């Protein structure tokens, strides 16, 4: 199968949708020139650096029958437009009693690792998980981003796509035929029997690397990528934990009120899953600090393969607790 990059796969999904549906508009400060050449400057519109303005404009376009893709670039810039995202995009369908639909795809990059310092590095998906009305996707492969975008384009709600900064040039197999990936369907990236590792965004790759290394010592990890956080695939996670009896959740966001807390909670509040736990779940998260600039500092605050390996070793060496 052909291989393309994550960014190419995303653009291809947008291009296909814009060919299918003339009532589509793309807003971004950096104009995707190929799309503009094909669809014109009215639909592929370059915007000023005016986040509240264009994030809100997407809502007005949506309420007027247009589907809009908004590339906000970094998730830290979206905070400028938080009023439009939370007070309006998230609430408007409900507040107006469902009389209109708001099909919008908001894209933003997340994560650290490029020495961009605190104001250009963050993984804030849990903040948005707290605002009912938004759907949240977290694509980690070229295949996934294209398939999830396809689903977003069939959805009539605001969808936020959080895309790790490290993924843009990531290559992977993407079929040329039309396909979609449903929201709420986790991907078991690697099957295993000893420990379930649910990993988010770039941590999926750290978890896979840890699994490869631990396999050599006879420890088997099952690595799950939820792919979407709202809706979240509870069943795949719970059934994996029922099988392995151990859970590690890895995310580079801070632990407090994070997506990792939600995932641990869905496991521990489920009676039959809880009963199968051999040890308390473990969270491996970014340290509770803004992201620092200096490379060794940044490396220290973000989880990696080694932290996962240490946690797994500790977990499997513990005597099985008696609940």
Partner 1 sequence: MNISREQMLRLYTTMLTIRRFEERVAREYYAGNIAGFVHSYIGEEAIATGVCAHLDKEDRLVSHHRGHGHCIAKGADMRRMMGEIYGKRTGYCKGKGGSMHIADFSIGMLGADGIVGAGLPIAVGAAMASQLEKRHKVVAVFFGDGACNEGEFHEALNLAGIWKLPLLFVCENNQYGVNTHYKAAMAAQEITRIPEAYHIRNQSVDGNDVLAVYEAAGEAISRLREGEGPYFLECMTYRWHKHFLSNYLPDLRPQAELESWKKKDPIPAFQSRLLNQGILTVEKIQEIETKIATQVEEAVKFALESPYPEPEDALEDVYSG
Q: Which residue's CB is nearer to partner 1, number 89 or number 311?
A: 89
Which among 6-14, 84-92, 193-201, 272-280 is the span making contact with partner 1, rule CB under 8 A?
84-92
Cβ contact 58:88 at 8 Å: no
221 Cβ contact list (under 8 Å, min separation 6): 190, 192, 194, 195, 196, 197, 207, 210, 211, 214, 215, 312
Q: Report, in Å, the least distance between residue 283 CB and partner 1.
A: 28
Q: Report, in Å, the least distance between residue 96 CB and partner 1.
A: 4
241 Cβ contact list (under 8 Å, min separation 6): 196, 247, 267, 273, 276, 277
Residue 247 and residue 281: Cα distance in Å, rounded?
Answer: 5
Q: Which residue's CB is nearer to partner 1, number 56 or number 258?
A: 56
Q: Which residue's CB is nearer to partner 1, number 48 or number 319?
A: 48
Which among 37-45, 119-127, 141-149, 275-283 is the span making contact with partner 1, rule CB under 8 A?
37-45
Looking only at residues 127 through 186 of this chain, which bind partner 1 when binding is defined by CB under 8 A?
132-133, 135, 156-157
Both tokens assigned to 232: 């979240």
120 is catalytic: yes
Q: Which residue's CB is nearer to partner 1, number 45 or number 283?
A: 45
290-295, Cβ contacts within 8 angstroms, sequence gap of 24 or more:
290/118, 291/112, 291/116, 291/117, 291/118, 291/121, 291/122, 292/117, 292/118, 293/115, 293/116, 293/117, 293/118, 294/115, 295/115
Q: Which of 1, 2, 20, 99 binds partner 1 (CB under 8 A)?
A: 99
Residue 250 and residue 306: Cα distance in Å, rounded?
Answer: 12
The 58-77 contact track toward partner 1, x by CB under 8 A, reads xxxxxxxxx-x---------
In this structure, the chain runs to a length of 323
Q: Which of 21, 87, 239, 265 binds partner 1 (CB under 8 A)?
A: 87
Which among 5-13, 52-60, 121-129, 266-274 is the span making contact with partner 1, rule CB under 8 A?
52-60
Q: Which residue's CB is nearer to partner 1, number 156 or number 193?
A: 156
Q: Catalytic: which of 26, 120, 164, 234?
A: 120
Which among 97-105, 118-126, 270-278, 279-287 is the span making contact with partner 1, rule CB under 8 A?
97-105
Cis check: omega of the bond before 65, within 30 degrees of 0: no
Q: Which residue's CB is nearer to partner 1, number 56 or number 142?
A: 56
Q: Which residues bind partner 1 (CB under 8 A)?
A: 23, 25, 42-43, 45, 47-48, 50, 52-66, 68, 83-84, 87-88, 92-102, 132-133, 135, 156-157
Catalytic residues: 120
């Amino acid at each position: 199968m052909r291989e393309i990059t994550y960014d190419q796969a995303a653009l291809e999904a947008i291009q296909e949708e814009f060919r299918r549906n003339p009532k589509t508009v793309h807003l971004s400060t950096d104009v995707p020139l190929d799309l503009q050449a094909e669809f014109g400057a009215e639909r592929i519109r370059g915007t000023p650096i005016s986040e509240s303005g264009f994030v809100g404009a997407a809502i007005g376009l949506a309420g007027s029958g247009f589907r809009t893709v908004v590339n906000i670039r970094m998730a830290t810039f979206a905070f400028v437009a938080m009023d439009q995202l939370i007070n309006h995009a998230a609430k408007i369908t409900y507040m107006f009693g469902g009389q209109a639909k708001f099909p919008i795809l908001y894209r933003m990059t997340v994560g650290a690792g490029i020495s961009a310092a605190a104001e250009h590095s963050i993984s804030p998906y849990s903040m948005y998980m707290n605002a009912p009305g938004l759907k949240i996707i977290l694509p980690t492969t070229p295949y996934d981003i294209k398939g999830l975008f396809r689903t977003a384009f069939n959805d009539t709600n605001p969808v936020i796509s959080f895309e790790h900064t490290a993924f843009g040039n990531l290559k992977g197999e993407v079929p040329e035929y039309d396909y979609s990936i449903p929201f709420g369907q986790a991907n078991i990236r690697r099957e295993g029997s000893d420990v379930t590792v649910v990993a988010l965004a770039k941590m999926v790759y750290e978890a896979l690397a840890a699994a490869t290394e631990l396999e050599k010592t006879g420890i088997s990890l099952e690595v799950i990528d939820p792919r979407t956080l709202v809706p979240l695939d509870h069943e795949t996670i719970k059934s994996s934990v029922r099988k392995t009896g151990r859970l590690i959740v890895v995310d580079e966001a801070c632990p407090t009120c994070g997506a990792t807390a939600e995932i641990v909670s869905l496991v521990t509040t489920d009676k039959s899953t809880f009963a199968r736990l051999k040890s308390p779940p473990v969270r491996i998260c970014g340290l509770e600090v803004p992201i620092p600039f200096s490379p060794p500092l940044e490396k220290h605050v973000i989880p990696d393969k080694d932290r996962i390996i240490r946690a797994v070793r500790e977990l499997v060496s513990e005597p099985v607790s008696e609940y």
